[in-house]
Copies of this chain bind each other. A is one copy, B any other.
Amino acid sequence: MIRIGVIGYGYWGPNIVRNFHTHESSEVTLVCDKNPKTQERLHKSHPGMAFTTDENEILKSSTIDLVAVVTPVWTHYELAKKALENGKHVFVEKPFTCSVTQAEELIELADRKKLKIMVDHTFLFTGAVKKIRQLMDEGALGDLYYYDSLRVNLGLFQHDVNVIWDLAPHDLSIMDHVIRDKPDAVVATGECHLNGVEDVAFITVYFPRHVIAHINVNWLSPVKVRTTLIGGEKKMLVWNDLEADEKIKIYDKGVSMSKPGALHQLLVSYRSGDMWAPQVEQIEALRAETAYFLKCIDKNETPFNDGIAGLRVVRILEAADRSVRNRGEAVTL
């Protein structure tokens, strides 16, 4: 039985508590939140569950094996570090840390202590992303051309981070998971309109072999859009996460050139065939993710969404932040 302490019981914390508490091999033994009124909310769902406002009761507990850090990003590093120092595995919300340096330090510390870090890139456990990764791994799309994601809606404004750190980690972690290549450089643009942090941003990530990714994040859109286009040589894919069914559509469409490079004589031919919407597994992603972490701890395996995966995302976020401040300056990774 893995005993878990959860720090942070705001918007997402209840989901973490519910999942870790209902797996057979784990239980949540203590929940911490700075706000003492939170206890009442916790007890509505989990009567009698132990609660504290002092995170050290979790971090220094002699009976807790795993600490889930479900707090604002600027606190991740300190909390995760203390947890690791006290010999606890760590489950951290995304984005992993505020900086590459912090992430590297936590990874090194966990390594030294033989402890595991999982960064909560929940989307990687959805049926849709699993299907996309499977299709790309099988080569169904052929050589990849581009990855283009649109994630916009009205709010929720974050006070401490900009829209890049708030929304882009989803797309960056998915991109990292399905492209599986090391990006070269980042160019980002954006603007602040309301509270001094960017609320609209456009991020381009350059990969080797002409693969290009683009992420459009916006807190000021009147409509909610969650759509990703992925274009390949053989097939093209549209993932609309707001569709109840048929989230993924694969188009048997393509373009080919008879003499690539020969500008004036080349013939373009278009191929357009059927569209296919594979059934996508209907699961609670967070349930699968938390079960997977428990299994990784039990079997002493490294999760694919470990600190290093979290670091890869933070590295792009950091670069995007620098680029956006310098009006699209290319930041080499």
Q: Write the residues of chain A forming the contact surface with B, with a CB cutoff of 8 angstroms.
A: 47, 145-146, 148, 150, 152, 154-157, 159-160, 185, 187, 189-196, 199-200, 202, 204, 206, 210-212, 214, 216, 218-224, 229, 231, 236-238, 242, 244-246, 249, 251-253, 255-257, 260-261, 263-264, 266, 268, 270, 272-279, 323, 326-330
Contacts and interface: CB of A to CB of B under 8 A. Distances in A.
Q: How many copies does the complex hold?
A: 4
* 7 A-B pairs with least C-beta separation: A187-B328, A222-B251, A222-B236, A189-B204, A275-B277, A328-B328, A191-B212
B263 A196 contact: yes
A196 B211 CA distance: 14
B210 A192 contact: yes
Nearest to A240: B223
A90 to B, nearest CB: 27
Nearest to A221: B229
A269 B196 CA distance: 16
A97 to B, nearest CB: 20
B146 A195 contact: no
Contact of A189 (B187, B270, B273): B187
A279 B202 CA distance: 31
B224 A148 contact: no
A190 B199 CA distance: 23
Contacts of A187: 187, 189, 327-328
23 contacts: A145-B191, A146-B218, A150-B150, A155-B268, A187-B189, A189-B204, A191-B211, A194-B257, A195-B257, A196-B261, A200-B214, A202-B202, A206-B327, A214-B216, A219-B255, A221-B231, A223-B245, A224-B244, A274-B277, A327-B330, A328-B328, A328-B330, A329-B330
Given A189-B212, A200-B212, A222-B236, A263 B195 contact: yes
B220 A145 contact: yes
Contacts of A148: 200, 216, 218
A266 B256 CA distance: 54
A191 B154 contact: no
A6 B185 CA distance: 47
Given A148-B218, A202-B202, A323-B328, A195 B260 contact: yes
A154 B264 contact: no
| Residue with the greatest number of chain B CB neighbours at <10 A, chosen from A199, A253, A273 | A253
A221 B272 CA distance: 12
